[in-house]
Chains A and B, each alone.
Chain A
Amino acid sequence: GAVVSQHPSRVICKSGTSVKIECRSLDFQATTMFWYRQFPKKSLMLMATSNEGSKATYEQGVEKDKFLINHASLTLSTLTVTSAHPEDSSFYICSAPTGGLSGNQPQHFGDGTRLSIL
């Protein structure tokens, strides 16, 4: 079964709305989590690295004030898309690195969140 739970799986909302996406590690602690964004027919692009107890590290070109990341515990990271606009519509997916402790998986991915802004 899934070891990283991501919710919600699908969001449709109006422009200007803020949307929160949760990513939970179910049976292991994750001091770091990664947030990726995938536009249709494109690759996964890292947006930011979420660090438990400290500020997230954002990739170049990603607005930290628009994509708020909170990693308040060792099992939960949240991504909030503030004042979302149609161009923010995308597939957002989180992952938690295993530290090499989970078989042969380098990272466990959540199921992703399909965000559609009208």
Chain B
Amino acid sequence: GENVEQHPSTLSVQEGDSAVIKCTYSDSASNYFPWYKQELGKRPQLIIDIRSNVGEKKDQRIAVTLNKTAKHFSLHITETQPEDSAVYFCAASRDFGNEKLTFGTGTRLTIIP
């Protein structure tokens, strides 16, 4: 089955700096890669996603890149703000909207004011 690894497990950055979280996956059939933000005791919230036919996607301060050959994808957050502090999970799936998600191990991001 799919295995998704995520690094780093914790990340602290100064407010205004950039944060990068990286994930690798094992299943070459995976073609959909979402990123979720989860606050304590809450459901995961989808913040950005990318499909395998795209190499990069950006939404304001958040961007995701995908290298399908190397089987890795990354989340980039620029101009970080205190409200960006949360746990972030990457995930992989074989089919958007139909298949299960395999989640990475999570990254606790702390923005230092």
Residues of A within 8 A of B (CB): 32, 34, 41-46, 49, 91, 93, 95, 97-102, 104-107, 109-112, 114
Contacts and interface: CB of A to CB of B under 8 A. Distances in A.
Interface residues of B, number: 21
B100 A34 contact: yes
Nearest to B48: A104
B21 to A, nearest CB: 13
Contact of A91 (B32, B41, B96, B97): B41
B105 interface: yes
A100 B93 CA distance: 13
A105 B44 CA distance: 12
Nearest to B9: A41
B89 A111 contact: no
B110 to A, nearest CB: 14
Given A91-B41, A106-B96, A109-B43, A43 B49 contact: no
A101 B100 CA distance: 16
B97 A106 contact: yes
Contact of A97 (B89, B98, B106): B98
A110 B43 CA distance: 7
Contacts of B49: 104, 106
Nearest to B106: A43
Nearest to B104: A43
B88 to A, nearest CB: 11
Name the 10 nearest CB pairs between A and B, nearest first.
A100-B97, A109-B43, A43-B103, A44-B103, A98-B97, A99-B97, A106-B97, A106-B96, A43-B106, A43-B105
Nearest to A46: B100
A45 B32 CA distance: 18
Given A104-B49, A105-B46, A45 B103 contact: yes
Contact of B44 (A97, A102, A109): A109
A111 B104 contact: no
B99 interface: yes
A112 B97 contact: no
B42 interface: yes
B105 A97 contact: no
A91 to B, nearest CB: 7
